[in-house]
Structure formats: C-alpha cells, structure tokens
Amino acid sequence: LAKTSQVVTTWTDFAWIGLHQANWPESDVWTWTDGTPYDYKAWSPGEPNDYEQDQHCVQLYNAPAPSSWDLVPGKWDDYQCNSTMKSLLCKRSTLTAPTVKC
C-alpha cells in the first residue's frame, strides 16, 4: 500500500484495504488479511477513532472533496466492518523485467 498514490489519482471512492481488528473485542490489534505484519500506517489525522466503538475495519479514503469528517484523500479511515463497500484494493507481487541476453 505504500504506492497507493497511483491508484488514488484515477479513482474516487472508499475502498477496503484488508486491514481489520480480527479478534475484537478480545484484542484491538490491527491485522492484514494475508498475515503481513502491520508495520505501515497511513491514517488520516484523528484516525482510527473507533466512532461509537463499532469501527474495526479500514478503508482508503479518496473522495473528490474534503468531507465533513476531515479525512485526507489517500489516507486511511476506520469504519464499520458490516458496511457495504463498492471497491477494494488487493496486493500483488512486484513485476520483474525479463532478462535479455545479447
């Protein structure tokens, strides 16, 4: 997700990014669905705020204008996991250039 700026410039919506609190309420630890360590953060200011103690999934925010929630386009927001999302982001391996011998 370090390179989400390429996606953000071409799309306007919210997208689930696969980060969630899998064992809530027993644990408030954030977990990636693929098991990747949670060692990169891109939260909007004031997030995660767990509004109404019911926000345990993370979405990438990219609306065309600032919202009333003061979210920053290209940054993360926690939200309710039972919300309907129209978009999601998936991780893929880096493509390597083919080796050419002359």
In this prediction, residue 9 has a pLDDT band, given cuts at 50, 70 and 90, of: low
Whether a cis peptide bond, with omega within 30° of 0, leads into 48 is yes
CB 89 within 8 A of CB 16: yes
Which tens digits make up the pLDDT trace of 16-71? 899 999 888 888 899 999 888 899 899 999 999 998 899 999 999 877 655 566 78
pLDDT at position 18 is 92
CATH number of the domain located at residue range(s) 1-91 in this protein = 3.10.100.10
Residue 38 corresponds to which tokens in the numbers above? Answer: 């949670």
pLDDT at position 57 is 94
pLDDT at position 87 is 79
**Size of the chain, expressed as the number of residues it contains:** 102
CA 63, 74, 20, 87 torsion-angle sign: positive
